[in-house]
A and B are shown apart, each in its own frame.
Chain A
Amino acid sequence: MSDDEEQAAVERCLRGESRAFEAIVDSYQRVLFNVALRMVNDRDDAQDVVQSAFVKAYEKLHTYDRRRKLFSWIYRITVNECLDHLARRRRQGPMDEDQPGRGPDDALEEREVEIVIGAALLDLSVDYRGVIILRHFVHLSHREMSRVLEIPEKTVKSRLHTARKLLGELLAKRGVSRA
């Protein structure tokens, strides 16, 4: 969806055409689900978080500043929902982690990589986790990340560099030294 189409959809939603929100959901559900999945490391929780984020976005659409990129705004809502969710999960105590897996036929090694990375990501701060997710799982360029996160490209690069360094150390602590 182009920026113009996006703004038109926002405008229609604000006029009371709730069906116009479909286009926004279609555009971003996959990206946001992947963001949430890597943030909370649980499929069911990620679904709840993304649903909640979309509904909040719809309810608060009148507060959205049109000068900003819509995805930046929804991404921020999703990250906040993830943080709230993780805080609730911490208060409720440890739970059985439903690892973000693929089908049973996939190689064990692939699943292990995913599990190890998922667990290590949870140990990174949200800012560092966010840049890793946007770059490696959502495949945004540095410039796109700069627009989404509303920080200079130079900061994106620097944050990514530090995040990967910390992730490397966390993986080494878990005994992962070779791909």
Chain B
Amino acid sequence: MRDDEFDRLVNDELDGVATPEQKAELARRLAEGEAARARYHEIQTVFGMLDRIESVDPPPSLRGNVLRAVESRARARSERGGWRGLILAGFGKRPGLGLGYAFAVGAVVGALALAVGSGLFDRAGLWGPEVRGTMLAPSGKLVDTIHLAVKGAQVTGEVWMTARSDLSVRLDVRSDGPFEAHITFDPDVYAPLSFRRVEPSGGWFDLRRGELQVTDRGSARLELRLRASSASRPPLGVWVGTSGGSAQGSLKPLPQNWSDLPSR
């Protein structure tokens, strides 16, 4: 019998799946010589070490975190579906009403674009008060800021450019309860370098291709560092959701007057 076949015999025996014939064969081999007994002992040692490792209880927070994240997604899905359903229903039943909606939305977007383009108000004014200095040790240049408000939470988002031209995307979330925050980016342009959380409350994060998802509760500061592989800097999406609803916006990492931005 080859060594490999003997090893299989021993594995089956120690695994509890050896047939009576295999057991008899093994007993015969073990009685035959010291080498077989030594090899049996070696394999038995591996089994013994593996079987000494006990199953571990999952952290108590695991279940709650998963269920909160799942409920948050279900809520977000139902909200998105609800709005989309409402609009589609309106379009389907009354085409004239749909055209009216389209015209109204176009007019509002056009007016806002005109106002921003003409300098009537800046982005900080558009999105709310600009908040500075709330993030992790600032360095580089502040490029863009947004402020999102949703029932039960306020989020300040900032994008900074470091001395090495990497982007530091920072979210300062102040929430009364559980929240979920997403940062989305073009994965063909941006590569994540690192992710940091300050003051997390046991939540979790998932950094996947083109998206960072964070679930937490209370207040938390998040920093995602990205490196751009090309000169183009597509906008970064920010989404926040709580049990009270959700809000989204974008951060633009490439302003026209880059050289005029103040250094910190």
Q: A22-B67, A92-B194 are contacts. A33–B48 as well, Cβ < 8 Å? A: no
Question: Does B74 make an interface contact (CB < 8 A)?
Answer: yes
* Interchain nearest-CB distance for A107 vs B (Å): 11
| Residue in A closest to B11 when the chains form the complex, CB atoms | A161
> B25-62 toward A: CB 8 Å interface, digit per residue (1/0)?
00000000000000000111111111111111111011
* Cα–Cα distance between A60 and B34 once the two chains are bound (Å): 56
Query: Hey, which bits of chain A sit against chain B, CB under 8 A?
Result: 16, 18-19, 21-22, 25-26, 29-30, 33-34, 37, 43, 47-48, 50-52, 54-55, 58-59, 84, 88, 92, 100, 102, 110, 113-114, 116-117, 132, 135-139, 142, 157, 160-161, 164-165, 167-168, 171, 176-179
Give the A-binding residues of B (Cβ under 8 A). Answer: 7-8, 11-12, 15, 17, 42-59, 61-63, 65-67, 69-71, 73-74, 78, 194, 204-208
- The residue that A55 contacts in the complex, of B59, B61, B73, with Cβ under 8 A, is B73
Chain A residues touching B, majority SS: helix
Our pick among B17, B46, B204 for the contact of A48 (Cβ within 8 Å) is B204
Q: Are B63 and A160 in contact (CB under 8 A)?
A: no
- Residue in A29, A34, A88 whose beta carbon sits within 8 Å of that of B63 in the complex: A29
Judge whether B43 and A168 touch: CB under 8 Å. yes
Given A29-B66, A137-B53, A157-B8, 13 additional A-B pairs, CB 8 A: A18-B70, A25-B63, A25-B67, A26-B63, A30-B58, A55-B66, A55-B206, A102-B56, A113-B49, A132-B50, A138-B55, A168-B46, A179-B44
Q: Would B55 and A30 count as touching, CB distance under 8 A?
A: yes
The answer to whether B49 and A29 touch across the interface, beta carbons within 8 angstroms, is no
For residue A55, which residue of chain B has the nearest CB?
A: B69
Jot down 18 A-B pairs with beta carbons below 8 A, ordered by A.
A21-B70, A30-B57, A43-B59, A47-B61, A50-B62, A51-B66, A51-B69, A52-B204, A55-B69, A58-B70, A88-B207, A102-B56, A113-B53, A136-B53, A142-B15, A142-B17, A160-B15, A171-B45
Q: Are B204 and A117 in contact (CB under 8 A)?
A: no
Q: How far is the CB of B134 from chain A (nearest CB, A)?
A: 26
Most buried by A among B17, B62, B74: B62
Chain A residues near B53: list those with CB within 8 A: 113-114, 117, 136-137
Question: Which single residue of chain B is at the shortest CB-CB distance from A36?
Answer: B58
In the complex, which residue of chain B has the Cβ closest to the Cβ of A92? B194
Task: Given A25-B67, A59-B73, verify A113-B62 contact (CB < 8 Å).
Answer: no
Closest to B46 in A: A168
